[in-house]
Structure 1
Amino acid sequence: MSVLGNAGSFLFRCLAQRNATKTGFNVFVTNLCLSDLLMGVYLAMVGTADSLYRGQYLSYERSWTASAVCKMAGFLSLMFSEVSALIIFLITLDRFIVLRFPFSSKKFRQKSALLASSIVWTVGFLLAVIPLLPVTSHWEFYGHSGICIPLPITRKAFKGRDYSLGVIIILNFILFIFIAAGQSVIFTSVRSNRLTTDTTKKYQDTTIARRLLTVVVSDFACWFPIGSLGLLASAGVHIPGEVNVAVAIFVLLLNSALNPFLYTFNLLMEKRRKTLEMRLIKVLDARVVTRETDTEHNAACRGIQNIPEDLTVNDAVSVLAHSLLAKETTWEKLTAVIACVSSDGNSDVQ
């Protein structure tokens, strides 16, 4: 499901959203999707081994953990998990800059986003390949567990544990602290968004921030427990060895499988909402006829025809406010609808 979901999401962004992919934000999201897709390959490799050795794993444990396939699986897991964490950090940084400094020229464009993504993939590759170098080969880093990656979330000692703790726990923990802080600022900016001050571009940026929030929260919820368990184990707290398997199977699987559905589902729902919204805007616009000579309230109300009996002020404001931000209607039409609906007793302002 993880591989299929991420593959579908990746193709959707590359084909259906070809023009949108040219923006810095979408470059990052496409790279995140690709990273999760390749993480699904790791999970498929481990899952296949589990099926092959089920019921007789103890007899083949050493041959599996020492195999080239296990080393490759561990390499892929470490590389793509770090790439995902770094890409999410870049996405948060991009949204932070856009929302907090909307008039700044220092933003991620397509070229700068591609450069930053290339650096992230290089860093992820280097972090994953270091345990395979001749000077560190004695660690047998990727052969300490059946899941092929030594998560330092128990008190069990093994060669290369300090490296694993530094990369998987401390580095990711620091990244997600910054991500949490950045998302808090972004959330505050979204909540403080006001119709009277926001431009169309600001409204679009806010919409993207809302769409992104679920993806970041999902990744944070998956990786924060791993960091917490690692720090607790380092502090001497006993963590059962079975937690390694549970984390790999459920946390990593949930993370890589859920992401594509979150950001693609959010995008599709946003398109559906806009389609329905535009239909309602057309209906309301067709019923609003402003007159330059109408200065009195009752005269303005006579200029609006066929207002539904159950239409409330909130309905009119909610729909026309979005079209006003997109410059698809005018203040005159908005106030005319509100005035008429209020006078007809349909007011229901919260």
Structure 2
Amino acid sequence: MARSSKPMLLYPELFEGLVNLQVLHVYDPRLCCIRPVGAECVNREPPHPLFTCRKTFLQNTTIKVFIWILGLSALVGNAFVIIMRLRTKHETTISSVQSTLITNLAVSDFLMGVYMIILAVMDIYIGDSYFWEGRSEEWRKSNTCQIAGFISVLSSEASVFLITLISVDRFICIVFPFSQKRLGVVSARVFSGFTWALALVVSSISVAFGFLNTDAYSLSDVCVGLPLIRKQIDLYAAVDTYTKSIYGFTEFAIISGTSIPTWQYAIALFLGVNLLSFVVICLCYIAVFIKVYFAGRSAGRKSKSLDQVKMASKMFLIVGTDLCCWMPIIVIGILVQANVVVVTPDIYAWLVVFVLPINSSINPYLYTVANRVSSK
């Protein structure tokens, strides 16, 4: 089949009546999804790394349902946190500082909810024309997808930076309670503004690279160029031995000689910066736990007193959810870039929809509800 510059318009009855079709050579892998049963399908070039036979760009019904649940949860939960924090009057500097940081964190997590709702709405809007009309490339290169990707990176990086800032602030307050080098109300606002500026720069660079290198967003239907896939290069033509041995004539297939990382910037950002931030968060809370533990012993209390249990539980939730959010992506990303594992489209979709945004839905409860419960 000749290669076309535009996607083919497919329909379910395309191969109706071709009962004797034995082999199909295609440039458009969608044809392999609707070929007659028993017919062989040979791709004339390696398909998109994340290509599947799904009819819409969100993978399945479960993902479609949960992206609405997580998206609305992030929007409602973080909007509630923002409103309550802005309306609450704080009597101490420490509570005011914490409120400033948590409010900014809620704003970043609110943006993740916006990102998820954009994907959910566009999945409904595009529908199965994504498959039948071949609109995958059109969607990945669209302004809507670019905006969604920008919001996602802005939200995730601002959240990571703010959680790191909160962890460092709590580390200083608890481990060095008499230190003068701690955040005040003004400095908390300044540092929050700096984290937003840094996240804005990082996400803007993502968009800029997206225009220079289409692998940034065009390799993902969810508009985020995570370092979880590699691009096939060094393409060459080789004799299709299967076709020659079965049908007796020579055909050539396009084969990839090797693969390279799709986006070095994503590797530096998601596998480098975020890993460093997580290490800082862990070290801060380990130091806090040790400080609280020995302070309790020196005061004559049991090591498993109620206060210490509450402190340990809150730290476990904060660090644990951050671990669940980023460490799978970091670990899998390292293995993928080392050519140890290959991430399938299904795994990629589940990681982006469930793992990446889960903290945005949980953080309102961790930093507000948990604090209210522990204060009783």
* Fold agreement, TM-score > 0.5: yes
Cα contact 1:99–1:205 (8 A) shared by 2:
no
The amino acid that maps onto 1:43 is M
Larger strand percent? 2
Query: Which residue is 1:223 aligned to?
Result: 326
Structure 1's 60 and 20: CA in aligned 2 closer, same or farther, altered over 3 A?
farther
Q: 1:178 to 1:26 in 2, by over 3 A?
A: same
Rounded to whole Å, the distance in 2 between the matches of 1:143 and 1:27 is 37
2:368 paired with 1:264:
yes
Q: Give the distance between the partners of 1:197 and 1:24, measured in 2 at CA.
A: 28
The whole-number CA distance in structure 1 between the counterparts of 2:96 and 2:185 is 5
Q: How far off its partner does 1:18 sit?
A: 5.1
Q: In the alignment, what sits opposite 1:164?
A: 266
Q: Partner residue of 2:86?
A: 14
Question: Is contact 2:227–2:262 with CA below 8 Å preserved after alignment?
Answer: no
Per-residue deviation at 1:169? 1.5
Q: Bigger relative contact order, structure 1 or 2, given CA contacts below 8 A and separation 6+?
A: 2
Instruction: Say if 2:200 is the partner of 1:125.
Output: yes
Contact 2:97 2:188 in 1 (8 A): yes
Cα separation, 2, equivalents of 1:139 and 1:161: 8
Of 312, 335, 338, 1:232 maps to 335
CA RMSD of aligned residues (A): 2.7
Q: Matched residues in 2 for 1:209 and 1:91: separation?
A: 16
Q: Is the 8 A contact 1:153 1:233 kept in 2?
A: yes
- The DSSP-based 3-state class of the residue aligned with 2:356 is helix
After superposition, the C-alpha distances for 1:256-308 in whole angstroms (9 at most, x for unaligned) are 1111122222123234xx2xxxxxxxxxxxxxxxxxxxxxxxxxxxxxxxxxx
Confirm or deny that 1:155 pairs with 2:230: yes
Choose the corresponding residue for 1:192, options 294, 297, 317: 294
Q: CA deviation at 1:238?
A: 2.0
Match of 1:183 in 2: 285
Quote the Cα distance in structure 2 between the aligned partners of 1:206 and 1:120.
Answer: 32
Deviation of 1:170 after TM superposition, in Å, equals 1.2
The question of 1:28 aligning with 2:101 is answered yes
How far apart are residue 183 of structure 1 and its match?
1.4
For residues 109 and 146 of structure 2, what CA distance do their matches in structure 1 show?
A: 19
Matched, 1:42 2:146: no
Does structure 2 conserve the Cα–Cα contact (< 8 Å) formed by 1:89 and 1:176?
yes
Between the aligned residues of both structures, percent identity stands at 30
Q: Which residues of 2 match residues 33-182 of structure 1 at below 5 A?
A: 33-58=106-131, 59-133=134-208, 137-140=211-214, 141-156=216-231, 161-182=263-284
Deviation at 1:138, TM superposition (A): 2.0
1:255 is matched by which residue type in structure 2?
N
Quick check: 1:150–1:164 contact (8 Å CA) kept in 2?
yes
- 1:102–1:197 CA distance, 2 compared to 1 (3 A): farther
- Counterparts of 1:45 and 1:253 in 2: how far apart (Å)? 13
Q: Report the structure, 1 or 2, having the larger helix content.
A: 1
Report Cα offsets for 1:176-199 as digits up to 9, x if no partner: 11211211111222222328649x
Q: Distance in 1 between matches of 2:328 and 2:297?
A: 39
Aligned length: 267
**Partners of 1:65 and 1:144 within 8 A in 2:** yes
Displacement of 1:205 in angstroms is 12
CA distance in structure 2 between the aligned counterparts of 1:263 and 1:148, rounded to whole angstroms: 29
**1:270–1:108 Cα change, 3 Å:** same
Whole-angstrom distance in 2 between the partners of 1:94 and 1:109? 10
Distance in 2, Cα, partners of 1:113 & 1:136: 33
Contact 1:38 1:76 in 2 (8 A): yes
Q: Tell me what 1:251 maps to.
A: 355
Cα distance change on mapping 1:20 and 1:54 into 2, 3 Å: farther
> SS state of the match for residue 357, structure 2?
helix
Any stretches of 5+ residues in structure 2 without a counterpart?
1-72, 233-259, 301-305
Partner of 1:321 in structure 2? none
The 3 A distance-change label for structure 1 pair 230 and 20 is farther
* Contact 2:230 2:261 survives alignment (8 Å): no
Q: Give the aligned partner of residue 55 of structure 2.
A: none
Q: CA, structure 1 residues 102+43, in 2 after alignment: closer, same or farther (shift >3 Å)? A: same
- Within 2, Cα distance between the matches of 1:102 and 1:205? 17
What TM-score, normalized by structure 2, do the two folds share?
Answer: 0.65
